[in-house]
Amino acid sequence: MFAADLVRGCIADEFGRDGFCVLRGAISQSDWQLLRERCLDNLCSYEATPELSDKSGGIQSMHLPLLGWGDRWLDAAAEAPTVEQAAALLTGRHVFCDPLTVEAVSYRSSVPWHRDATVDTLGVKFVAYLDGLTGENALLMAAGSHRSLVPSESEILALHTISVLEVDAGDVIAFDLRSWHANFGVGPRTQWTITFLAAPDTAAERAAAEHWLREGESYDAAPTGIDRSWVNPNWFASASSDSVRERWVAQMADLGRVAASATRVRP
């Protein structure tokens, strides 16, 4: 789904230095329209649900799982080779997708300073804001904070330059999972997201990847008030006939996240 040759040396260098970058025009306008329409159609089916997602932590938001729930275009978008290639070029590593991070997300309140990884997990998150981001809804990123051992918000803000990211339709924000970020906008913000983890090379990296995967929700569970689990079992079941899924699921099985039998078609 991403444009080919999207990540060049200067962009990868920027990502390594700052812990984030904006991939301008990453998604064609035709694909953007399809992505927006399909994510919004999925979200509209659940917008009347008053409960907050299990992932919200008190933030007014809805996290809607997308993989395997009948929209083959959305499945193909997540599994597109150019998306994985962009993640590999930014991190400089072999990568695999954590499938429960493929979501349509609707925020209705501000989001305080935080980082997605609570330990030193190597990976990249792609975020496409379906209506762009401008003004008070812009995303705030603490440049270089992915390399910081400082644990508190106040120290992060004192030590790092804060970048304000505004994006248009077709742009994608990529950030290191360890980067501190926030959004103090009050208007609704809808996004499509996907996260890739670096395949671990060392014992420490393996422990961090295992921690990330273990910390995530159970694939068989569902967000509060939503009648679909984080990943449809059929997505795992079809892995044996799909090279991308097979490789991703095999990596997760090696890290203890799913049973090796997940790659077999279930009755």
Could you read off the pLDDT tens digit of each residue along the chain, which spans 267 residues? 898 888 888 899 999 999 999 999 999 999 999 999 999 999 988 865 544 444 545 567 888 999 999 899 999 999 999 999 999 999 999 999 999 999 999 988 889 999 999 889 999 999 999 999 999 999 999 999 999 876 778 888 888 999 999 999 999 999 999 999 999 987 789 999 999 999 999 999 999 999 999 988 888 888 877 889 999 988 888 877 678 999 999 999 999 988 654 544 332
What structural domains does the chain harbor?
9-255 (2.60.120.620)
DSSP string, the chain: -BPTT---HHHHHHHHHHSEEEETT-B-HHHHHHHHHHHHHHHHTTTT--SPPTTSTTSSEEEEE-TTSS-HHHHHHHT-HHHHHHHHHHHTS-EEE-GGG-EEEEE-S-EEEE-S-SS---EEEEEEETT-B-GGGPEEEETTGGG----SHHHHHHHSPEEEE-B-TT-EEEEETT--EEE---S-EEEEEEEEEEPP-SHHHHHHHHHHHHHSPPTT---TT-SS-SS-HHHHHGGGG-HHHHHHHHHHHHTTSS-GGGGSPP-
Tokens 């330059």 locate to 161
CA 221 to the chain's CA centroid: 19
- For residue 138, the one-letter residue type is A
**How far apart (Å, rounded) are the C-alpha atoms in residues 134 and 124?**
23
User: For residue 246, which of 76, 82, 96 has the smallest C-alpha distance?
Assistant: 96
What pairing do the DSSP bridges indicate for beta strands 189-198 and 95-97? Answer: antiparallel
Contact present, 133 and 166 (Cβ < 8 Å): yes
Contact present, 7 and 23 (Cβ < 8 Å): yes
pTM equals: 0.92
